[in-house]
Amino acid sequence: MNTRTTTFLLVLLGTLSLGACNSTTNLADGGIGGTGISAGTVTGFGSIYVNGVKYETTPDTLYQRNDAAALEDEFNVGEVVVVDWEEQDEGTRVATQVSFAALLKGPVTTAPGPGANTVEVLGQTVVTDETTVFQGFVLLEDLSVLDTLEVSGFFDADGAIHATLIKQPDTRSTTVELKGNIDEIISDQELRIGNQTVNLSNVITISGGALEENQFAEIKGTYASGIVYAETVEVGAVELEAESGEEIELEGFVTRFVSETDFDVDGQAVTTTAATTFEDGTSSNLGLNAKVEVEGVLDPLGVLVAEKVKFRVVSNLKIEADVQAVDVAAGTVTILGMTVLTDELTQFEDDSDQKVKKFSLADVDPDVDQLEIRAYLSGTQLIASRLERVDPDDKVRLKGPVTELNNPVITILDVDVDTTTVTDYEGVADQTEFFGTVQVNDIVQAKGRETGSGIVWEAIELDD
C-alpha cells in the first residue's frame, strides 16, 4: 500500500470527526484506472450503492464494522460507510474495502415524547427525519430510558447528530461508544461531552494527545448510573490517508463556513472554483449546516477541490398505500394516483416478510405490494428519497402540502381527503377549528384505511 499524507475528515468508521477535528483510517490503494474514496449513505445492494453510485464487490473486497472484520450481508440501507475503490475498465468502480462504524452506541438517556423527532443517547442530541431508518422499533416514542441504540449519521455544525439509521439491538448492553467534542474538563478524573459525564478513573489507555476542551475524543467503556466509565480514550485528529489528486466523494453537513470558496464539509476543507457545478442550488446556498454531497479531487494541501456540489433536499413528504403501477424503465411507481420518480439517490429497502436484500423497483408487484415512500417535490414532480416495501394491510398515510381547501375536502398533493369521516383532529378540537386554521401550502398528515369502496379517512394533523 502506498503511504498517503492528506488528512480527510469523516464522521464515520469509529475514527470520526466534528468541525475542528479530523479523522482517518487506512484504505487499500491501487487500480488500473485510478482510485478514490467515497463516504456517504448506503442506498441499495446488488454489489453496494453509496450515494446512488454502484461499487462492484468481489471476493477480494474487505468489509469492516466497528473495527472488526465483517460480511457484506451485515450492512444495511441507511448506514453511512466509507468505500475505498479502484476504477476498472469502462469506468466500473470496484470496492476494495467497505467500512462502517456507529457514531454512538449506548443507552437512551432522555425518553422521547409523543411525536418527537429527537432522542438523547449518551447525552447527545440525535435528530431524525422522514428518511431515517429505524430497526427494532417503529417510533421514537416507543423507546425508553436505558434502551440501547446504535446510531449512524452525520454531525452538524452545532454538534447534533442527524441520524440516517438507528438500530435497537434485541438486548440492552452496558458497553458504550461515545464520540464528540469535549465540552468541559470537570477535573482530572471527569469530563463532559454534550450532556454526558465521563469518568476517567478506570482508563486503561489514552492515545492521541492530552485531554483538552473543544478537542475531539472517541471513548469506549461502560455505562452505569448515568455515568460513562471510560476504558479507552482516543483524542484528537486521526487521519484518513488520501493522496493528492485522488478522487473524493463526500456527503455531510457544512461544519465550517468562511466563504463560498473556503468551507468544511464534515470537517474536510473544501474549495470551489469557477468550474464547479451546483445541483439543486447555487453557491449562495452554501452556509453552516447546509447538507451537501461534494465530488472532486484533493490538492497537495489536502483541500478538496470541488468539481460538483449537490445540495440535499429535505424529504418532508410521506406516502403509504398499495402500489398501483410500476414502470421500471422510467423509474416510477404510481401510488394514490400520483406518479413518484425514483433516482440514483433513492434508498430501496424491503421491510416486508420477504426481506429481499437486493431490493429494487423490479421487485415491486403492483396491486399486491404496499409501499412506504419518503419524498420531496422538485417543481411538480414527486421524487422518492426512500422507498420501502412493507407488509400489506389496509393502512393509508399521506403527508404533504395542502394544494386546495374546499370544506369538508382538503387536497394534499393531488389527493382529495374527505374529512367527513375524520374523528381525530390532532392539535385542534374539531373540523371547524381545523378548517379555520389550515392554509394552502401548510404541511398536513392524513391517516385512513382502504376499503372496498375507497379510502375512509380517520385522522388528520397539521404539521408544526
Q: What pLDDT does 86 receive?
A: 94
Q: SS3 of 114, please?
A: coil
Question: Are residue 228 and residue 189 in the same domain, yes or no?
Answer: yes
Rounded distance, CA 17 to CA 338, Å? Answer: 41
Alpha-carbon distances, residue 321 vs 94, 371, 400, 461 (angstroms): 37, 6, 14, 18
Question: Are residue 134 and residue 270 in the same domain, yes or no?
Answer: yes
Question: Are residue 146 and residue 78 in the same domain, yes or no?
Answer: yes
Question: Are residue 118 and residue 71 in the same domain, yes or no?
Answer: yes
CATH number, domain at 375?
2.40.50.320
Q: What pLDDT does 9 receive?
A: 44
pLDDT in tens, the chain (464 residues): 333 333 334 444 433 332 333 333 323 333 345 789 999 999 999 899 999 899 999 999 999 998 899 999 999 999 999 999 999 877 899 999 999 999 999 999 999 998 899 999 999 999 999 889 999 999 999 999 999 999 999 999 999 999 999 999 989 999 999 999 999 999 999 999 999 999 999 998 888 888 999 988 999 999 999 999 999 999 975 445 578 888 999 999 999 999 999 999 988 999 999 999 999 999 999 999 999 999 999 999 999 999 999 999 888 899 999 999 999 999 999 999 999 999 999 999 999 999 999 999 999 999 899 999 999 999 999 999 999 999 999 999 999 999 999 999 999 999 999 999 999 999 899 999 999 999 999 999 999 999 988 999 999 999 87
Q: What pLDDT does 287 receive?
A: 97
Question: Are residue 187 and residue 295 in the same domain, yes or no?
Answer: yes
Q: Using an 8 Å Cβ cutoff, are 153 and 161 in contact?
A: yes
Question: Are residue 279 and residue 291 in the same domain, yes or no?
Answer: yes
Rounded distance, CA 242 to CA 269, Å? Answer: 13
Model pTM score: 0.85
Question: Are residue 120 and residue 212 in the same domain, yes or no?
Answer: yes
End of a domain among 340, 373, 393? 393
Question: Are residue 136 and residue 284 in the same domain, yes or no?
Answer: yes
Total number of domains in the chain: 3
Question: Are residue 337 and residue 367 in the same domain, yes or no?
Answer: yes
Q: Using an 8 Å Cβ cutoff, are 460 and 447 in contact?
A: yes
CA dihedral 238, 240, 243, 245 (to 10 degrees): -120
Pairing of strands 247-259, 35-45: parallel
Q: What pLDDT does 33 receive?
A: 54
Q: Using an 8 Å Cβ cutoff, are 309 and 276 in contact?
A: yes
Judging by beta carbons within 10 Å of its beta carbon (0-12, 13-18, 19+), is residue 261 exposed, middle or buried?
middle
Question: Are residue 142 and residue 170 in the same domain, yes or no?
Answer: yes
Rounded distance, CA 160 to CA 151, Å? Answer: 12
> Domain residues for 424?
396-462
Q: Phi and psi (nearest 5°) for 146?
A: 85, -5
Rounded distance, CA 85 to CA 99, Å? Answer: 12
